[in-house]
Amino acid sequence: MGSIYALAALGFNIIYNATGIINFAQGEFVMLGAMLMAYFAAVLKLPLLLAFIVVVLLVACVGLILERGCIHPLKNPSILVLVMITIAASILLKGVTMFIAGKEVHGMEYFSGENTVVDMGGAKVPTQTFWILGVLGVVVCGLVIFFNLTLAGKAMRACAFDRTAASLMGIPTKRMVMFSFFLSAAIGGMAGAVIVPISMADYQSGAMFGIKGFGAAVFGGLGNNFGAVSAGLILGILEALTAGYLSSHYKDALPLAVLLLVLFVKPSGLFGSEAAGRLKKF
Amino acid sequence: MADPILELKDVCRFFGGVRAVDGVSFCVSKGQIKSIIGPNGAGKTTLFNVIAGNMKPTKGNIRLQNRNVTMLPDYKMASLGVTRTFQTIKIFSNMTVLENVMIARHPRSRAGFFSAAFRFPWMRREETSLIRESRKYLEFFDLLGKADHPAHTLPFKEQRLLEFARALANEPVILLADEPAAGLNTRETKDIAALIKRIRDTGVTVLLVEHDMSLVMDISDEILVLDFGKKIAEGTPEHIRKNDEVIAVYLGRRAEGA
Amino acid sequence: MMKRNIYIPYAVFLMIVLLAPMFVKNPYYLGVLVQVGIFSLVTMGLSLLMGYAGQISLGHAAFFGMGAYASAILTGTCHWSPWLAMGAGMLITACVAWFVGTPSLKLKGHYLAMATLGFGLIVNIFFLAEVDLTGGPSGYTFARIPHITFIKWTIKSETSSYYFVWGILLVILLLTLHIIHSRVGRALRSIHADEEAARAMGVNTAQYKVGIFILSGIYASLAGSLYAHYIRFVAPDPFGLMESVLLVTMVIVGGMGSIWGAIAGAALLIILPEALRFFQDYNILIYGAILLFIMLFLPGGIFGGSQMLWLLIRKIPGRRQEAKDG
């Protein structure tokens, strides 16, 4: 579960870094990924890998459309407008999904066969866990390579650092914004696709993914990818512990409480330091 | 020096390793116009922010009329009589000209949520006298005719004037003016100079940060020169004009730049 | 903006409210109007917070719910008088708002939005989880919530509910208008325009922001209590995230920075779904689309839009006047 938050948090970071926008529809990308995966794999019975790729591409395209249709046309929007637009988009996505897929909860079997588990020192761990961790690992490695070694990645980091300067250096900042939405939606889609076998796909699940992912992003210091991954994992473990030792009712409340606590006490997050200065930008 | 209004002792403000203000001490006497000058990045605006309470000094001591005000937040400073104008004009664009001035009377009135909601008679009287006083300040600045205009419709120079009207309505002991001539042409700058003198003549002490040398030399009683956060000279305009270090800082830079 | 007399529009509005039941005889429509009144109360508070002080809250449904649950539990389980319960609900909400608002309102923009959103979700989870207290997901079913009694009338029929709710609304509206046109209202607007400059003028911005947050929380709680006594049943569902978003939408649709807009927005977004009932489940779709459309094309809201139009029309003769003067 923590990995999913980590992935969602990465999605927040990418858009935030490129645009300074917090995308409230981030959770819907995860939900969409999950729904589509359930549809392609369980209903159409496409091969896993093919289904996965198609899902990720589709969700990424939705991200692209969101940027083109809603964010791009705005000139000097206020924060309130941005918040409400991404919320409106998330409601719309939710509505469309419900309209097409219905209200039922969808599921599918584990990637490596129905309910397979691995015995690890007495605890039975579902094989899907490893798939999820694997995807997280691949995404993190991919992002590291992308941001550090490719030209486009470097350009995006430049944008994050100073948008005006970047655009003066000839970097097409507009296209970078577009691409950041594409990338972050793709990551959200991946997260959704791998989570289906464990937590089912439900058209209403987006909001929770979103806010917990944001919690992880803030926890780890907004804009800090390493922090996001660690914080996401910590949050997942905390959540499992609450469910186990306290009350399953409050397992959703815990990440929220952590989010509030971090916001109140140290808005720059556990691993953030320079991010504190960025707060002032708002 | 007789009757110091504002007294700074060894005030420092560091940002990480950057020493924006580094051990500055000076006094401002009652009824003076004192100017702070220095090249770009010398720490003038930071010093202003520290005095006004926007930033806390890393070290040092600030006294206002013999009272220690070092750690007070900005809104407290304002109610104690330290009022500022901003380098970039900060009028309340969503209000009328009159309302902008009325805001400045905030610390001098007391209606709260409860009394406002029920409109007690004393609160209505307060409101009426607030309007009367505020109009007085607008009159001083020739803005009375536009009292009911939305503030953002005023031309640039009048917005500056409004900012001064607002600051004066706060009844400051000392007025901190951050580059009041920024963005104005020569004639308008002259008007501002005359205006600042008029403000001084009403009994308000003025502390000025300004780039425009002719303005500074013309109206200041005393000048303080900052470079790299440190005080390098202090004295009357004539004294500063002849100071070798000041000339080196200014002319040296200009020579390098040219 | 000329100095306008606030009592003239108020008097007109008062007449409309008093006379409306003469034209709306159908109890069902009257019921819709009661709901409009209840929601207007919440949006009025939210409009003070958003439109005047410029702060975002995505957790206001939580305050609404706290009022409703306080009324339900205190009258149902503890057999308190509805009026006492209403007051207690407002007090509890005010305390919670103070507790949450003090650290939250130091945050800005997205962070504030997320913090209030998180707070709202936590409160909702609390409603769901404390089954012994709230009845959990199925709602408060331990006792029927009693009708409220005003002097000697029991508020039971749709007509009496209408006059009761709108009567309270009218009183609160007057108080709110007074606040807006006062030293407090000016201080709030100065925060919206420029916080730093407001502080430089001696306005204790932190205190005002928390103050207005608490006040808007109290409005929402009062509305929640009225809701509980009107519907006579409370469940966690109507106090969730979607409801918070809906409330903010109402304020935006009506036009920020206008109390009248807040009422108009509430009216529109309550009546419209009723009119579009035949779409049933798809209202979430339509709702999302409306919100998106407004944010994209009319960020000033309906009132803002019409005001802009009005200004445009007015400007034309105004220009001529200036030309003559010149």
DSSP string of B124-169, one letter each residue: HHHHHHHHHHHHHHHHHTT-GGGTTSBGGGS-HHHHHHHHHHHHHH
Mean pLDDT to the nearest integer, B7-20: 86
Spatial contact of C302 and C290, defined as CB atoms under 8 Å apart: no
> Does B174 lie in the same domain as B46?
yes
Query: Do the domain assignments include residue A242?
Result: no
B and C: number of Cβ contacts within 8 A: 105
| Closest-CA residue to B219 (of B210, B228, B231, B227) | B210
Residues 6 or more apart whose CB falls under 8 angstroms from that of C207 comprise none
Residue A206 in contact with residue A30, Cβ under 8 Å?
yes
Which residue from B94, B104, B118 is facing C201, i.e. has the nearest CB? B104
Element (H, E) at C97: helix C82-104
- Contact flag C110-A22 (C-beta cutoff 8 Å): yes
- Do B76 and B181 lie in one domain? The reply is yes
- Does residue A50 lie in a domain region? yes
Please check whether residue C257 touches B, CB under 8 A: yes
Considering the domain architecture, whether residues B41 and B167 belong to the same structural domain is answered as: yes
Pair A194, A1: CB distance under 8 Å: no
Which chain C residues contact residue A88 at CB under 8 A?
A: 288, 291-292, 295
Tell me the β-bridge partners of B234: B224
> What are the chain B neighbours of C208 within 8 Å (beta carbons)?
none
- DSSP-derived 3-state class of residue C240: coil
B94 contacts C193? CB cut-off 8 A: yes
Mutate to test the interface with C, among A94, A103, A260 (most CBs of C within 10 A): A260
> Which chain B residues are within 8 Å of C175, Cβ to Cβ?
117-118
Distance (Å) of CA C160 to CA B89, C29, C156, C278: 54, 14, 6, 29
Interface contact C299-A99, CB threshold 8 A: no
Report CB contact under 8 Å: C186, B95.
Answer: yes
Q: Chain B closest CA to C120's CA: distance in Å?
A: 25
CA distance C315 to C318: 5
Instruction: Label residue C316 left, alpha or beta by phi (over 0 means left) and psi (-120 to 50 means alpha).
Output: alpha
Mean pLDDT of all residues belonging to chain B: 86
Q: Do B28 and B111 belong to one domain?
A: no
User: Helix axis angle, B156-169 relative to B121-140, nearest 10°?
Assistant: 130
Distance, C-alpha A47 to centroid of its chain: 24
Q: Which of C2, C196, C205 sits opposite B90 (nearest CB)?
A: C196
Q: Are residues B87 and B143 in the same domain?
A: no
Give yes or no for C194 touching B (CB within 8 A): yes
- Is some CB atom of chain B closer than 8 A to the CB atom of C199? yes
- Convert the pLDDT of each residue in B164-210 to its tens digit: 999 999 889 999 998 888 888 888 888 888 889 999 998 899 999 98
| pLDDT exceeds 70 at position B243 | yes
The CA-CA-CA angle for residues C9, C10, C13, to 5°, reads 85
Give me the residue from C117, C118, C292 closest to A88, CB to CB. C292
Q: Taking a contact as any Cβ pair under 8 Å apart, which residues of chain B between 158 and 187 contact chain C?
A: 166, 170
What are the pLDDT digits (tens) for A60-117? 888 888 888 777 777 666 777 778 888 888 888 888 887 777 666 666 666 665 566 6
Task: Give chain A positions within 8 Å (CB) of C241.
Answer: 207
Span A259-268, pLDDT tens digits: 888 888 766 6
Contact B116 C178 (CB under 8 A): yes
The angle at the Cα of B87, spanning B15 to B148, to the nearest 5 degrees, equals: 140
Q: Does C201 touch chain B (CB under 8 A)?
A: yes
The residue among B48, B113, B160 with the most chain C CBs within 10 A of its CB, best to mutate, is B113
In terms of Cβ atoms closer than 10 Å to its own Cβ (0-12, 13-18, 19+), residue C64 is buried
| Residue A196 covered by a domain | yes
Query: Same structural domain for residues B184 and B107?
Result: no
Report the pLDDT value the prediction gives residue B135, as an integer from 0 to 100: 92
For A8, A132, C115, the CA distances from A233, given in Å and listed in that order, are 11, 12, 21
Q: How far is B78 from chain C (nearest CA, A)?
A: 5
Give the model's pLDDT for residue C38.
95
Helix C205-231 / helix C82-104 crossing angle, nearest 10 deg: 150
For residues B137 and B189, state if they share a domain.
no
Distance to chain C for A219, nearest Cα, Å: 12
Domain boundary among B153, B168, B190: B153
pLDDT at B1 over 60: no
Residue of C183, C187, C169, C156 whose CA lies nearest to C53: C187
Q: Do C175 and B95 touch (CB under 8 A)?
A: no
Between CA A68 and CA C294 the distance in angstroms is 17
Question: Which residue of C57, C58, C112, C114 is the best one to mutate when testing the A interface, meaning the one whose CB has the most A CBs within 10 A?
Answer: C114
Count of structural domains within chain A = 1
**Nearest Cβ partner of C189 from B76, B92, B148?**
B92
What is the DSSP track for B12-56?
Answer: EEEETTEEEEEEEEEEEETT-EEEEE-STTSSHHHHHHHHHTSS-
The verdict on residue A211 lying in a domain is no
- Specify the pLDDT at position C318: 41
Q: Is B92 on the interface with C (CB under 8 A)?
A: yes
CB contact under 8 A, A22 and C114: yes
Q: Where are the domains of chain C?
A: 7-325
Confidence of residue B138 (pLDDT cuts 50, 70, 90): very high
> B174 - beta bridge partners?
B82, B205
Express each pLDDT in A198-217 by its tens digit: 776 677 777 778 888 888 88
Nearest chain C residue (CA) to A100 = C282
Residues B228 and B112 placed together within one structural domain of the fold: no
Domain that holds residue A44: 2-109+123-203
Cβ contacts (< 8 Å) between C122 and chain A: which residues?
Answer: 253, 256-257, 260
Give A172's pLDDT tier (boundaries 50, 70, 90). Answer: confident
Amino acid of residue A168: L
HSE-up of residue A240 (Cα within 13 Å, Cβ side): 9
Distance between C66 CA and the closest CA of chain B, angstroms: 23
Shared-domain flag, residues B15 and B140: no
d(CA A143, CA A264): 30
Q: Are residues B87 and B101 in the same domain?
A: no
By C-alpha distance, the chain C residue nearest A276 is C107
| DSSP 8-state assignment for residue B77 | H
pLDDT of residue B181: 85
User: Which residue, among B105, B106, B128, B168, would best test binding to C if mutated, counting the most C CBs under 10 Å from its CB?
Assistant: B106
Contact A282 C108 (CB under 8 A): yes
The residues that bridge with A119 in the sheet, in sequence order, are A124
For residue B217, the enclosing domain spans 4-91+157-257
Please state the domain count of chain B: 2
Stretches where chain C sits below pLDDT 50 are 1-3, 315-326
**Mean pLDDT across A225-244:** 79
In 3-state terms, chain A is what percent helix, strand and coil (to 5)?
Answer: 75, 5, 25
Chain C CA closest to residue A70: C296
Instruction: From chain B, pick out residues whose CB is under 8 angstroms from the CB of C190.
Output: 92, 95, 103
Chains that touch A (3 or more CB pairs under 8 A): C
Contact at CB, B92 and C204, closer than 8 angstroms: no
User: Collapsing DSSP states into helix, strand and coil, what is residue B91?
Assistant: coil
**Residues in chain B closer than 8 A to C205 (CB atoms):** 75
Helix (H) or strand (E) holding C172: helix C158-180
Do B187 and B81 sit in the same domain of this protein?
yes
Q: Do C291 and A70 touch (CB under 8 A)?
A: no
For residues A118-132, average pLDDT:
67
pLDDT in the model for residue C305: 58
